[in-house]
Amino acid sequence: MTQALLEVDQLTVTFEEESTPTLDDLSFTVQEGESILLLGPSGSGKSTLTYCLNGLYPKELDGKMSGSIYFAGSKIEDFKSGKINLEVGTVFQDPETQFCMLTVEDEIAFGLENKKISPDLMESEIDRVLSLVGLQHRKKDQIHTLSGGQKQKLALAAVLALEPRLLILDEPTANLDPAASKDLVETIRHLKEEQEITLLIIEHNIDYWLPIINRTMLLDQDGSLFFDGDLSEAVNMYDEELQQRGIWLPEAALLAKQAQLPKPWPLTIDLLPPDLQFQTKTSEVLQKKEQIIQVENAVFRNKEKVLLDIPALTIKHGEFLAITGKNGSGKTLLSRQITGLLKPTAGDIEVLGKKLRRWKTNELYQQIGYVFQNPEHQFLTDSVWNEIAFGQAVNADEIQRVLEDIQLAAQADKHPFTLSQGQKRRLSVSTMLVQKPQLLVLDEPTFGQDSHTTEVLMDLIWRHHQRGCTIVMITHDMELVDRFASRVLIVDQGRIVADDQPAGIWKRKDLSDYGLSLPAKEAYNKRTQEDSLYASY
C-alpha cells in the first residue's frame, strides 16, 4: 500500500482554561494528489487543525496536544525549524497577516531567500509563480495597492514559490466578492491541472469548490470527525445533521429541499429539474417618509485622486439597505462617510435632519451604531460580558440573554481577543444592538459564520429592524440581499452605479462586471428560462 502523504493519529488539542478539547481524537490520512474539502461549524477546530499541520502547534500552543502527525512518514515535530513549511503551505483567510514585505516581487523573493534559491534563478521563479496566479502585471507594485482578491492570489503565489506538496487553504474566499472568489478557485483548478499538488480546503462556501474536490471531511462541534467520504453522500444522507451543525449545504441541494424534491438531490443548479416553485419574499417593514441620511455632492479624495463621489443619496427611516460591489469599490468608505467616521472633502451630509458637522460625537453615536469589518477595532474591555455592558444601562439578566442569543454565554469571562473570528463577529454585532440605535451600519456582519450562526445573527438584526431600526448592510452575500434587503446599492470605483429593489438588480445583465452573482433562486430561474427559450427553437 502506498504511504500516505499525511497521517493524523488520535490528535487531541485542549487549550488552557478549557475543560473540553477543541480537537478530539482526530484520525485520518491524506493520499498524494487528493483534493479534500474540510467542513465544520464555527469553533469546531478547523483552524486549530491547520496550525497543527503546518507546525505552529504545539510550539506556540497555550495548552496541551496529544497524538501524532506524520508527513511523508516522518513526525512533523522531527522536522527542523521552518522545514515543514516548505512541505506544507498555508494560505489564510486574511492574507495580510502573512505578508512580510512591501512590494509584490519582494514578498515572493522573501520566501525564495529562505529556501536558499540563488539570485540567478530567483527572477525567473518570481515570474513563474506570479504567472500561475495571473499577477505578473503587478510584479513591481506595492502590496497595499492590490485588491482583496489580488492579495489572496499573492499569498497563494508566495506559498507556491516554496513548492509545497500539501497546500492548505483556510477560508480563502471569506473576504472576497463572488467574482474574485470564482477567479481564485479557477486559479487553483488550473494549478491542479498543471502540477501534482495535494489540497486541503477549509471553507464555509461549498459551491465554489465543487469542480475541484474529490473527498469531504466533516468535523463536529466537539472537534471530532463524523463523516469522511463523498460530498453527495454526506448531503443526501446527513442533510439534517449538517444543518443542525451549521454546515452550509450546496445551493442546489437547498433549493431541492425547499421544493421538497425526493432524494438524491443534485449538487449543482444545472442538474435541478425545471419549473420548481419557491416561496416568495416576506412582506417588508413599513417605511416612514422621514429621511435619516441625506447626502448632497459628497466627495472624498486623497492627494492622488477622488475615492468617493456621491452626488445624491437619501436613506429613509425603516429601510433595509444593502450595499454591495467588488472588493475595493468604495463600499466601506461610503458607509463611514454617512456615519461621520470620515469627513467628506466636499459636500454635505445630514443625519436626522442635522448637518453632520453640527453633531457632537457622543450624541451622534447614541443614534448610530457601526459594526466594523474587523471586529477587534471596536473592542474596549477585557471580557465578553463587559463588552456587552460597556457604556450601556443594561442589567445582568439582559446581558445574559444577549450572550445566550449569540451563543457566547460560555465565553462570558473570556477576553474578546481570544475568541474565534466568528465569535468576535457575533460579539461586535451584539454590542451595537444593545444600544438600540436608530441607524445600524454593518460591514460584512456574517463574514466567518457557519449557517446556524448566520441565521442567529440575521434573526437578531431583523428583529431590531422590525422594531423600526434602519439597517445599512455591506455584504457580498447575494442570498442575504435577496432575503432581507428592501433596497440595494451597487458601488463601483467610488460611485453608486445602481440603486434599486432586489428584483430590479437581479434583472441586470452586468452584475459580473461589479463582482456579483445571482442568488440561487434567481440563477435557477434564469437557467430555466434560457432552457425554455432554446427548446422553442
Which domain CATH number covers 217?
A: 3.40.50.300
Burial 413-441 (b: 16+ CB within 10 A, else e): ebebeebbbbbbbbbbbbbbbbeebebbb
Q: Are 402 and 521 found together in one domain?
A: yes
Strand pairing report for 215-219 and 225-229: antiparallel
Q: How far apart are CA 522 and CA 123, in angstroms?
A: 47
Q: Are 369 and 517 found together in one domain?
A: yes
Q: How far apart are CA 429 and CA 457, in angstroms?
A: 8
Q: What is the dihedral of CA 354, 357, 362, 364, to 10 degrees?
A: 30
- Count of domains observed in the chain: 2
pLDDT score of 368? 94
To the nearest 10 degrees (0 to 180), the angle between helices 119-132 and 104-114 is 120
The DSSP call for residue 103 is B
pLDDT score of 212? 93
Domain assignment present for residue 75? The answer is yes
Q: Are 215 and 336 found together in one domain?
A: no
Q: Are 325 and 179 found together in one domain?
A: no
Whether cis (ω within 30° of 0) applies to the bond prior to 41 is no
The DSSP call for residue 287 is P
Residues in the chain: 537
Please provide the DSSP assignment of 125-144 as one string. Answer: HHHHHHHHTT-GGGTTSBGG
Contact 435, 466 (CB under 8 A): no
Domain assignment present for residue 179? The answer is yes
pLDDT score of 238? 92
Reported as a single tens digit per residue, the pLDDT across 156-209 is: 999 999 999 999 999 888 778 888 888 889 989 988 888 889 999 998 889 999
Domain assignment present for residue 272? The answer is no
Q: In the chain, which residues have pLDDT < 50?
A: 283
pLDDT score of 283? 46
Contact 435, 405 (CB under 8 A): no
Q: Are 223 and 331 found together in one domain?
A: no
Q: Which of 198, 229, 260 is the last residue of a domain?
A: 229
Query: 147 to each of 134, 135, 152, 330, 533, how far by Cα in Å?
Result: 13, 11, 9, 11, 38
Percent of the chain having pLDDT more than 90?
Answer: 57
SS3 of 20-83: the string is CCCEEEEEEEECCCCEEEEECCCCCCHHHHHHHHCCCCCCCCCEEEEEEEEECCEEHHHCCCCC
Q: Grid coordinates representing 461?
A: 438584526
Strand pairing report for 74-75 and 63-71: antiparallel
Domain assignment present for residue 259? The answer is no
Q: Are 120 and 225 found together in one domain?
A: yes
Q: Which of 210, 229, 248 is the last residue of a domain?
A: 229
290 burial (CB, 10 Å; 0-12 / 13-18 / 19+) is exposed
Domain assignment present for residue 263? The answer is no
Whether cis (ω within 30° of 0) applies to the bond prior to 264 is yes
Reported as a single tens digit per residue, the pLDDT across 31-66 is: 999 999 999 887 788 989 999 998 889 888 888 999
Please provide the DSSP assignment of 206-261 as one string. Answer: -GGGTTT-SEEEEE-TTS-EEEEE-HHHHHHHSHHHHHHTTPPPPHHHHHHHHTTP
Domain assignment present for residue 278? The answer is no
Q: Which domain holds residue 68?
A: 6-229
Domain assignment present for residue 310? The answer is no
Contact 183, 152 (CB under 8 A): no
Residues 6+ apart with CB under 8 A from 135: 104, 150, 153, 154, 157
The sheet carrying 354-355 orders its strands as 306-316, 291-301, 346-351, 354-355
Domain assignment present for residue 268? The answer is no
Contact 491, 308 (CB under 8 A): no
Burial 124-155 (b: 16+ CB within 10 A, else e): ebbeebbebbbbeebeebebeebbbbbbbbbb
Say how many C-beta atoms besides its own lie within 10 A of residue 344's C-beta: 21
Reported as a single tens digit per residue, the pLDDT across 196-245 is: 899 999 988 899 999 999 999 999 988 999 999 999 999 999 999 898 88
Q: How far apart are CA 51 and CA 58, in angstroms?
A: 8
Q: Are 22 and 151 found together in one domain?
A: yes
Query: 443 to each of 85, 208, 212, 290, 424, how far by Cα in Å?
Result: 34, 23, 30, 24, 13
H or E element, residue 386: helix 384-389
Q: Which of 229, 244, 273 is the last residue of a domain?
A: 229
Q: Are 326 and 225 found together in one domain?
A: no
Largest Cα separation within the chain, whole Å, is: 75
Say how many C-beta atoms besides its own lie within 10 A of residue 194's C-beta: 9
Q: How far apart are CA 449 and CA 476, in angstroms?
A: 13
